[in-house]
Amino acid sequence: MTATKAPSEPRSQQAVRRPGDRIFAGSAKASGVFILLVLAGVAAFLVSEAVPALTAPAEDVPGGEGLGAYVAPLVLGTLLGAVLALLVATPLAVGIALYVTYYAPRRVAATMGYVIDLLAAIPSVVYGFWGLAVLAPALVPFHVWAADTLGFLSFFAGPASTSGRTMFTVGLVLAVMILPIISAISREVFSQAPALHREAALALGATRWEMIRMAVLPYGKSGVIGGAMLGLGRALGETMAVAIVLSGGAGATLNLISSSNPSTIASNIALRFPEATGLGINTLIASGLVLFVITLAVNMLARWIVNRRADFSGAN
């Protein structure tokens, strides 16, 4: 009897990649590598141009006290304005996102979303002139009141500025500028909250706010934090609006309502670079390197926060 031959196992056929797929994959990979090369090139340029300022004697650096003493007030002013903007913009952006997503009628939500997103298209110069001509004079009475009432706090120690060109005004201008970024990301995250969780909360008798508190906010927490960090990075690098509004040039101080304000790194570079020569240029580039490191650290922190909850979903 002839033994029957067992059927052979089907061979796994390797998927044939079409030319379009190969071209797209290669283009995507090349784009990613190109971005890394550009980032590395910028870092290399900043480091190479900052070396003379890093190695120069302290008396040769502008200010005569060394690079650290020159950059420290600028770092303080940069962080102070950006953090103030973040504290103002984040609660407002979250409230707008929740209202547009879960409270407003559909037509009102669409219109309101377009208007908020339109704020991102306004040039920085327009924000700067608005802050100088409108917001700064309007805040002078508040500065006087804060100096008289809250003067025991270092943030409002006074004397109050008579022009309104203070760090407090800059923080509010930056808050308006980063509001569309945080609001857009928050709306997107809140709208993707699992419908099963939201419907279950409502079915158990929860009010709309209780549903948002129990089902929406825990899901969108990491997205809101990531959007806030991106907004913070935007505020750290703002140049023209700060240069127009802020009356800077003073040393390190936490006073938000005085006319003596520390400048920011970006605005200081924009204002002093046209007249700088020699080691002064290297010093400005060294301060730009510090801003580059700060911004990179903020973006990396935002990415880490977002990736930490990447596995969260409605199923788990």
Q: How confident is the model at residue 175 (pLDDT cuts 50, 70, 90)?
A: very high
The model scores a pTM over 0.95: no
| % the chain with pLDDT above 90 | 17
Q: How confident is the model at residue 14 (pLDDT cuts 50, 70, 90)?
A: low
**Low-confidence winner among 32-41, 146-155, 207-216, 304-313 (lowest mean pLDDT):** 304-313
250 torsion bin: left (phi>0), alpha (psi -120 to 50), beta (else):
beta
Which residue did the predictor score with more confidence, 154 or 6?
Answer: 154
Most confident of 116-120, 126-130, 243-247, 266-270: 126-130
DSSP three-state, residue 261: strand
Q: Which residues 6+ apart lie within 8 Å of 170 measured at CB?
A: 81, 84, 131, 241, 242, 245, 246, 261
pLDDT surpasses 80 at 6: no
pLDDT surpasses 70 at 288: yes
Stretch 38-50: mean pLDDT: 90
pLDDT surpasses 60 at 11: no
pLDDT surpasses 90 at 63: no
Per-residue tokens: 131: 């802050």
Q: How confident is the model at residue 310 (pLDDT cuts 50, 70, 90)?
A: low
- Quote the crossing angle between the two packed helices 67-98 and 265-272, to the nearest 10°: 120
Q: What's the pLDDT at 53?
A: 85
Q: Are 90 and 279 in contact (CB under 8 A)?
A: no
Stretch 152-170: mean pLDDT: 85
* SS percent in the chain: helix, strand, coil, step 5: 75, 0, 25
262 DSSP β-pair partners? none
Distance set, CA 188 to CA 108, 109, 185, 220 (Å)? 17, 13, 5, 9
> In terms of C-beta density within 10 A (0-12 exposed, 13-18 middle, 19 or more buried), how is residue 13 classed?
exposed
pLDDT surpasses 60 at 4: no
pLDDT surpasses 50 at 316: no
Question: 297-304 contacts: CB < 8 A, separation 24 or more?
Answer: 298/229, 298/232, 298/233, 298/236, 299/229, 299/230, 299/233, 301/229, 302/225, 302/226, 302/229, 302/230, 302/233, 303/226
Q: Is the peptide bond before 159 cis (omega within 30 degrees of 0)?
A: yes
Handedness of CA 259, 263, 266, 271 (dihedral sign): positive
C-alpha closest to that of 173 among 146, 224, 138, 223 = 138
DSSP three-state, residue 144: helix
Which H or E run includes 304? helix 279-308
C-alpha closest to that of 94 among 106, 86, 84 = 86
Residue 68 CA to residue 63 CA, distance in Å, equals: 11
Per-residue tokens: 273: 């670079």
Q: What's the pLDDT at 15?
A: 58
C-alpha closest to that of 114 among 176, 217, 174, 183 = 183
Q: What is the DSSP letter of 62?
A: T
